[in-house]
Every structure is written in structure tokens, then in C-alpha cells.
Amino acid sequence: MATARFRLYPTTVQEQQLFEHCAHARFVWNLAVEQHSWWTPRRGPAPSFATQCRQLAEARAEFEWLREGSSRVQQQALRDFWQAKKNFFARTHGRPDWRRKRRDEGFRIADTCKAQKLNRHWALVWVPKIGWVRFRLSTNALPDAKSYRVTYRNGQWHVAFAVIPDSIEPPGTGELVGIDRGVTITAALSDGRTLNCPQPSAKEQARVRKHQRRAARAPKGSAEKAAEYAKVARIKAREVDRRKDWVEKTSTELARRFDLIRFEKLNIRTMTASAKGTVEAPGRNVRQKSGLNRAILAQGWGQLRLRTGQKAPGRVEDVPAPYTSLRCSACGWIEKNSRKSQAEFVCVSCGFACNADINAAVNVAAGYAAGTTPRQRSSVREPRPARAGILSPDGGGGCQLLILNPTAGARPGA
């Protein structure tokens, strides 16, 4: 789900009402987190969604503060919690956590999403119990969305509409591409190109550290401390925007240029998790530049995979890739010594030389590595894998794609 995000400009009165909505949503969310954190086999299961809905109705009957708020905002917070729980069990997201005042100000409205254009630069969004709130229209058209989220951060309100991205038509050329995650670059393509996710420059990182240092020295609760932290947040927000922009452009290009896109399958969670923290919540002592960059690259990779899948539904595959970096894409020989350095691959068997990441990407394109273990290496000696598939003979329909089976040419025992 892509989002279209705009700066929201509530009136002073509306702003107070928005803060109320945020407080209610957070209250309901945290209640759900608390109930679920108490779950143990002996105490019995955590309450179900239906139970929690009933409890919410009871709480609203009891507390005027809650009753005066929007039931839609509150119910949605509960629904969001259950979605977060589902994502957690699907291993795509972390465990739903406590939301704190100031740090997590936001709420979501789903199902009906009313917005209207005022003029070229301004539009209105309907917020329950508040009414029409103005936002700055930075795109030409109003987004076609079913839900939106309002957030407050660093003194700014934003509204983000969840837009279901249009899938992109396959080119129908039968071309396929393999994408391998690089170490120093974000990704290598089997056609020899590399993709580089924008990273903060050394200068930007130094600026972040400077403001963090000043914030740490400033007296607790001072305006100075808040201002320094706001500066840090602004720099980081700019980095995130740049990365998102790159992900959008790159995923569109991949979906447009190739009929089939194969990604090296990686567990993003283990890749980004470290003793120093996670991508979402980096540890306080992340000093090493390498660690930080690795986390950023991992995040960019995860986003790229996600968005490409949305734009090219049914045309993206994940290739389990335990030996892609050690396998020669020319002759299939798997050997540790072929990998001369981080960047250099020279096959000890056939002498094929290539950039190591590109070599791996060609293996990914061929759908390789699953079941190809070093023990089998003497038998894995087939000709250079097909890089492209062929169109079905009848030629009808752009996506009737037959991919050459890369194992078809294997000559066991060669």
C-alpha cells in the first residue's frame, strides 16, 4: 500500500480536537497491548477482538472522556492493533508496542474517506467529529483512497492517504531479471547494472551527531534540547523521503522493464536485528557507520521488494539463495575460493571472471541455489543459465511467459 502524504493545516480549535483523537487512539491501543502482554498459558488466552470491542463499548459507557471522542477513531485503533498482531505473527513486523505521548501522535480513519479539492493548492479532508480540515495539495489530483492516517510530529500535522497502487503492465518481452543484495551497493542486477539506495552522506551523519550531542548537553526539558532534537528529526525525515523516492522510481522501472523479477530471498528481520537495536529503534550506541549503513540498505531492500511486488503482482519471485555468491554463473561450479574479494569473482573451474554481485544476480535470475549444495558441485555443471525466457509460440497475451527451466540443461556427472 502506497501512501500519498500531505501537510495538514488545522485551525487552533481543530488542532485541539485532533490531539484528543490521538489521545483516544493511543489509549485504546495501549489497553490492547496491556491485555495481550498479560497472556500466559495459565492465565488463559488474551481477549479476542470481539471481546475487546465489547470492552471498548463498556469503557465508553463508563468514561465521559472516551464517550465524547469519535467511536470510529477508537474502533480503528483496536482494528489496527489486531492487524499489527497479525503482521507480527506473519513475521513481517515487530511486536506491537506501547504508544507514548508526543512520540506517537496519530490515528487512522478507514472505510469512508471523504476529501474534496478546493483549488489547485488546497483540499479538505473530513475528520469525524471535527469536520473538514484543510491540507496542502502537493500533487495534481486528489488521491483515490479508502483510508487515511493523521499524524503529528515535530510540530507538523500530516495526512497520509493509503492508495492501492496500480499494477504495471508487463512489457511482454519475456525478459527476466535477477536481483542480488550487495554488500557495498544496495543491489546488483543480472543485466550488469547496480542499484544504489541513497544513504546519508558523511557530512549529514556528522551533522546528526552534532545536534544529538548538543541535545544531550542541554538541560532536561529545555527549549534548546527540543530544538536540537527537532533538527535531528528533520535531517532524518529528509533521508527517509529520499529513500522512499528511490524505492518508488526503482520499483516502477523494474515492473515496467521485466516480465519476471527474481529477488534473492533474505530474512530482513534477522538481517537488521542486532544487539545495537533494530532499524525502527536503533540502539543508543550505534557509532559504527558500517552498522548504520547496513541497516539503511536492509531497509531500502525490504521496501524495494515490497513495492515491486505490489506493482508487478504475480511477476515477482523470491529465490532462496544460500550459495548464489559462491556459484559460478557460467559453469555452475560452487567454490569458496572463486570469490576472490568482496567485489571480484573468478571461477576456479572455468576461469569466468565477473563482478561478484553481478555473478550472484545472474544466479538469482536463473532461480538458482535451492538444493544446490557444495556436495553436489561435481554434478552441477550445466551450460550458462538462460537469462531470458521466451514468449509462448502463439504470441497471444503479454504474460503467457515460458521461462526456460535452468535445470533442464543440467548434465549430471559431467
Residue numbers of the site for Zn ion (CB under 5 A)? 328, 330-331, 333, 347, 349-350, 352
Contact 29, 97 (CB under 8 A): no
Please, what is the minimum distance in Å from the beta carbon of residue 345 to Zn ion?
Answer: 9
Closer CB to Zn ion, 316 or 328, in the complex: 328
Please, what is the minimum distance in Å from the beta carbon of residue 140 to Zn ion?
Answer: 52
Please, what is the minimum distance in Å from the beta carbon of residue 403 to Zn ion?
Answer: 23
The residues, ordered by sequence, that sit 6+ positions from 353 with a Cβ below 8 Å of its Cβ are 344, 345, 346, 347
Cα 122 to Cα 9: distance, rounded to the nearest angstrom: 10
- In 3D space, the residue among 82, 58, 83, 57 whose CA is nearest the CA of residue 71 turns out to be 57
Output the nine-digit C-alpha cell for 271.
538481517
Please, what is the minimum distance in Å from the beta carbon of residue 322 to Zn ion?
Answer: 18
Closer CB to Zn ion, 178 or 309, in the complex: 178
Closer CB to Zn ion, 230 or 346, in the complex: 346
Q: Is 386 exposed, middle or buried (0-12, 13-18, 19+ CB in 10 A)?
A: middle
- In 3D space, the residue among 312, 337, 405 whose CA is nearest the CA of residue 366 turns out to be 405
Please, what is the minimum distance in Å from the beta carbon of residue 329 to Zn ion?
Answer: 8
Q: Is 206 exposed, middle or buried (0-12, 13-18, 19+ CB in 10 A)?
A: exposed
Closer CB to Zn ion, 235 or 331, in the complex: 331
Contact 363, 357 (CB under 8 A): no
Contact 172, 166 (CB under 8 A): no
Output the nine-digit C-alpha cell for 174.
519475456
CA dist 226 → 151, 242, 277, 280, 388 (Å): 19, 24, 23, 21, 55
Q: List the 115-117 sheet strands across, edge first.
A: 105-109, 145-153, 156-163, 2-9, 131-136, 122-127, 115-117
Closer CB to Zn ion, 191 or 335, in the complex: 335
Closer CB to Zn ion, 30 or 329, in the complex: 329
Amino acid type, 303: Q
Closer CB to Zn ion, 82 or 352, in the complex: 352
Helices and strands in the chain, H and E counts: 9, 16
Please, what is the minimum distance in Å from the beta carbon of residue 334 to Zn ion?
Answer: 10
Closer CB to Zn ion, 229 or 352, in the complex: 352
Please, what is the minimum distance in Å from the beta carbon of residue 295 to Zn ion?
Answer: 34
Output the nine-digit C-alpha cell for 340.
576472490
Please, what is the minimum distance in Å from the beta carbon of residue 401 to Zn ion?
Answer: 28
Please, what is the minimum distance in Å from the beta carbon of residue 321 to Zn ion?
Answer: 18
